[in-house]
Structure 1
Amino acid sequence: MKKRILHLIWRFQGGGIETFCLNLYKQLIDRYQFEFAVCGPRQEQEDLVEALDCKIYHLPEIKGKSGKKQYLDALTSLLCEEKFDAVHSHLGFMNISTLKIAAKLGIKNRISHTHVAPLVLKLPCEGAVRRFLMRRYATVCIGCSTPTTNFYYGTGNKVKTFYSSIDIGRYYSDNCRKGRKFIIVGRLSPEKSPGLILSIITELAKKDTTYSFIWVGVDECNVLTDSVLPPPYNQLSLF
């Protein structure tokens, strides 16, 4: 019988966390059954998830203290009613509260997974306290990068870094084989490290001037609007 893993995510809107979970599930589908607890009402993309035989549970949205309490109460009820072999929480520092409940209910495998960059905290000691609690209630602590792992968990035997890789074969088209212009599609937001991406573009352009870049999304960092960009940056198109 497959082991049941409950993933706690915000919602299904085509974001990186959802994509990561589904890509992982496709590799493990023979051994594990992934199920998802999401915040708020049903989203259109949930049809695609259910087509993979993944059950989705809708919990209250986490808005303010009352919303958080309602969410945690609903999660407690769900974990009491269903028998999961593991809980895998993707809710940032909310993982402390969710995995604390899972621990109290005797769920042996509790995974805390953070996918975002380090935050700015109000108090210096706040980070240390939260890191301690994350390690206390999780049996495995995973970060998407070394800075993220260090910020959310610190160090320890249960702390791991797991990079969010993708199957690049899905994006390797005939255009690549025929030597046509290569297109990189991304999003200009702080967590996507646009400065690093621009440095990569610079090095690629030095090696091959046939590269072309299209950036899709809102320029949240004002990378393109606040500066006069030299080649190859001035060839960027923003949609």
Structure 2
Amino acid sequence: MIRVLHVLGAMNMGGIESFIMNTYRVIDRNRVQFDFLVNDEENKYAQEIEELGGHIYFIPPRNRGIKAYKTNIDRFFTEHREEFQAVHLHAASLSSVYVLVAAKRYHIRTRIIHAHSTSIKGSKLHYVLHIFNKLRLKKIATHYFACSDKAQHWMFDYTGRFAKSEVINNGILMKDFAYDEKKRGEIRKQLGIESDEIAICHVGSLTKVKNQSFLIDIFLQLKTINPHYKLFMIGDGPLKSQLQEKIESLKIEDSVTFLGIRKDVHRLMQGFDCMVFPSLFEGLPVALVEAQASDLQVICSDTISGMAKISDDTTFLSLSLSASDWAREIDKKLEGRKRKDNTELIQKKGFSCDTVTKKLEKIYLD
């Protein structure tokens, strides 16, 4: 057995975490085991990880002090370097790659950098560090992954590593998302969705990049077209209270439900009709793959890679369009639409977790 150390902020219910856990559940754990190095002491997947044979290690984040951060990473590898044959860093940018620098120093042979975004949140210094680390990336990492072509360009252009980088699809467990009419009825009853109501959903952390404030503007316009629209928001984050205040000021609180962080997103999607995803930027959201696997109508911003389009029922719109424009397009797409089983399509497009996991397993073992 070899052990792979996955490095990221936390193991909660975000898209990156879903992708990793999907892989972890499917991979041959007699040959490959996962451990996790995180910066958040609260991890929703902690119990399942322990049950699968993995461990979660915690070190304080870099924003609490760069010197202490580096010291903690060095101490970690001093204590655990014999345990790992690979380090897999999941990152939105190259502003912090010290964990791979340390992994090389401690002779861990396989060092993977995995791009999951197409831009950066943070100060100008973070962007400068991102560009600087591009120039030395080939001396640090051995493998270069990205979730989409746009993420690939963001992370690896001008590094001399772009030609060696490859896109790893965000695989999902297809059987969990296959459309089922009976389950749809059950979920709609649980959520209080009437037969004549149209359920719009959004899955994501409540943060600026997800652009939920614009989503609420779109929903307000949908309500003027048809008062039977409802909005369900799955996720949590720092902007929740601000979004709730906006919803109350628009007097649409009776039509909007915050469902929080959920482990049953695959069940909930059965009951919805459309996912709206107006992000400012993204890599390739796992939620969009899941929505298409459930055969939801998907309307998303064109800032997201075209690789996210698996189904013909996915439409990209510009964020320069008005909320009214978005609402009219959504309402038009939903008119008379029927759901179907998209399992075969997801498999054909290479987003099956089984396919993705076999690819990663071979890389780890090689």
Same fold (TM over 0.5): yes
Deviates most, 154-163 or 53-62: 154-163
Partner of 2:143: 140
Aligned 8 A contact 2:35 2:56 in 1: yes
Aligned to 1:59: 59
Residue 104 of structure 1 is matched in structure 2 by 105
- 1:229 to partner: Cα distance: 2.3
Distance 1:126 1:7, change over 3 A: closer
CA offset at residue 165 of structure 1?
2.6
SS at match of 1:101: helix
How much does 1:98 deviate? 1.4
Q: Which amino acid aligns with 1:151?
A: W
Q: Which runs of 5+ in 1 are unaligned?
A: 207-220
1:5 is aligned to: 4
Asked whether the equivalents of residues 59 and 71 of structure 1 are also in contact (C-alpha less than 8 Å), the reply is yes
Contact 1:141–1:158 (Cα < 8 Å) also in 2: yes
RMSD of Structure 2 on Structure 1 (CA): 3.8
Matches within 5 A, 1:1-239: 2-28=1-27, 29-63=29-63, 66=65, 68-82=66-80, 83=82, 84-91=84-91, 92-94=93-95, 96-119=97-120, 129-154=132-157, 155-156=160-161, 158-175=164-181, 183-185=273-275, 187-190=277-280, 191=282, 192=285, 194-196=300-302, 204=313, 225=323, 227=325, 229-233=327-331
Q: Kindly indicate whether the alpha-carbon contact (under 8 Å) linking 1:188 and 1:223 is maintained by their aligned counterparts in 2.
A: no
Are the aligned partners of 1:149 and 1:161 in contact in 2 as well (CA < 8 Å)?
yes
**1:64-83 deviations in whole A, cap 9, x for unaligned?**
5x1x3322221211111112
Report the alpha carbon displacement of residue 95 of structure 1 after superposing the two structures with TM. 5.0
Give the secondary-structure state (helix, strand or coil) at the position aligned to 1:41: coil
**C-alpha deviation, 1:7, in angstroms:** 0.7
State the SS of the aligned residue for 2:145.
strand
Inter-partner Cα distance in structure 2 for 1:95 and 1:4:
23
Q: Which has the higher contact order (CA 8 A, sep 6+)?
A: 2
1:172-209 alpha-carbon deviations (Å, 9 max, x no partner): 1322999x987344654332592248x97x96399xxx
1:181/1:107 CA distance change after superposition, 3 Å: closer
| Change in 2 beyond 3 A, CA 1:140/1:185 | same
**What is the percent sequence identity of the aligned residues?**
23
Superposed displacement of residue 62, structure 1: 2.5
How many aligned positions are there? 216
Moved more, 130-139 or 91-100: 91-100
Structure 2 unmatched ranges of 5 or more: 185-269, 286-298, 335-366
Per mean C-alpha deviation after superposition, the further-off stretch among 164-173 and 126-135 is 126-135
- On the 8 A contact 2:4/2:33 being kept in 1, the answer is yes
1:96: Cα distance to partner?
2.4
- CA separation of 1:181/1:222 partners in 2, compared to 1, >3 Å: closer, same or farther? farther
Structure 1 distance, partners of 2:279, 2:326, is: 19
Q: Quickly say closer, same or farther: Cα 1:24–1:130, change in 2 above 3 A.
A: same
Moved over 6 A (4+): 123-126, 221-224
- Calculate the TM-score normalised by the size of structure 1: 0.73
Distance 1:104 1:54 in 2: 24
Paired residue type of 1:145: S
Structure 1 equivalent of residue 246 of structure 2: none
One-letter identity of the residue aligned with 1:85: Q
Deviation (angstroms), 1:146: 1.4
* Residues 223, 183 of structure 1: alpha-carbon distance in 2 compared, 3 angstrom cutoff: farther
CA distance in 2, matches of 1:45, 1:126: 31
Change (3 A) 1:159 1:228: closer
**Contact 1:42–1:58, Cα closer than 8 Å, also in 2:** no
Q: 1:234 to 1:70 in 2, by over 3 A?
A: farther
Question: Structure 1 pair 227/139, CA: closer, same or farther in 2 (3 Å)?
Answer: same
